[in-house]
Amino acid sequence: EAGVVQSPRYKIIEKKQPVAFWCNPISGHNTLYWYLQNLGQGPELLIRYENEEAVDDSQLPKDRFSAERLKGVDSTLKIQPAELGDSAVYLCASTPRGSHEQYFGPGTRLTVT
Amino acid sequence: QQQVKQSPQSLIVQKGGISIINCAYENTAFDYFPWYQQFPGKGPALLIAIRPDVSEKKEGRFTISFNKSAKQFSLHIMDSQPGDSATYFCAGRNAGNMLTFGGGTRLMVKP
């Protein structure tokens, strides 16, 4: 079974530029999460989807961050415009219906210069 | 507010030794306490987990000890191996399956 797929794996952009990350969860997983992981720290939840509905986005900085999960399958996280402090790893995770275990993808490492 | 505090930040253990990582939590609404293992360039992977009505859980060389009254739990890795070298995160989960992670412990097991 394929795991959570994320792309790109690495991204370097200049500040004020837009950037987008893509996540394809494990097939059949209805819950999808986006996390932010700063260097040397634990992941912090940004947003959680149940199917196509964002059920918790309280930690998402909505002035510059946006996310969507059309059709309840893959998801895109966007930052516009990016700031230096956005440099981090962006992790996607998914959970199948009826389970609590979160399966993480490898992440996208963003560097803003 | 850091709801899960993890220590130490880094740990060096000799091969065959015992690795011990400690966590303390504040949110009494947490109902599940997983430990994740993360290798460089990879996402975290679930290692072992415990519910608060159990004081200890063992899976192979990995054991979680849980003290509900003290709001503390720990991971013990017996017979530590170089392949165990990774970053370990404890977490607490609330009813909405939302995880709050500790700050992580970077473990190095020396051959």
- A50-58: average pLDDT: 90
Instruction: Return d(Cα B111, Cα B106) in angstroms, integer.
Output: 16
Give per-residue pLDDT as tens, B76-109: 999 999 999 999 999 999 877 889 999 999 999 9
- Note whether B5 and B13 are within 8 A (CB): no
Q: Tell me the CB-side half-sphere exposure of residue B65, using CA atoms within 13 A.
A: 8
Q: Are A67 and A47 in contact (CB under 8 A)?
A: yes
Using CB atoms, which residue from A48, A55, A101 is nearest to B46? A101
Length of chain B: 111
Q: Is B35 on the interface with A (CB under 8 A)?
A: no
The DSSP secondary-structure symbol of B78 reads: S
Q: Sign of torsion, CA B33 A50 B38 B101?
A: negative
Closest-CA distance, B45 to chain A, in angstroms, reads 7
* Shortest Cα–Cα distance, B72 to chain A (Å): 18
Residues from chain A that touch B9, judged by Cβ atoms under 8 A, are 40
Residue-wise pLDDT tens digits, B54-83: 999 999 999 999 999 999 999 999 999 999
Q: If DSSP codes are grouped into helix, strand and coil, which group holds residue A84? A: helix
Query: What pLDDT digit, counting tens, does each position of B24-39 carry?
Result: 999 999 999 999 999 9
B102/A104 touch (CB, cutoff 8 Å), yes or no: no
Contacts of residue B60, Cβ cutoff 8 Å, sequence gap at least 6: none
Q: Is A42 exposed, middle or buried (0-12, 13-18, 19+ CB in 10 A)?
A: buried
Beta-bridged to residue B38, according to DSSP, are B87
> Strands B45-50 and B99-101, how do they pair?
unpaired
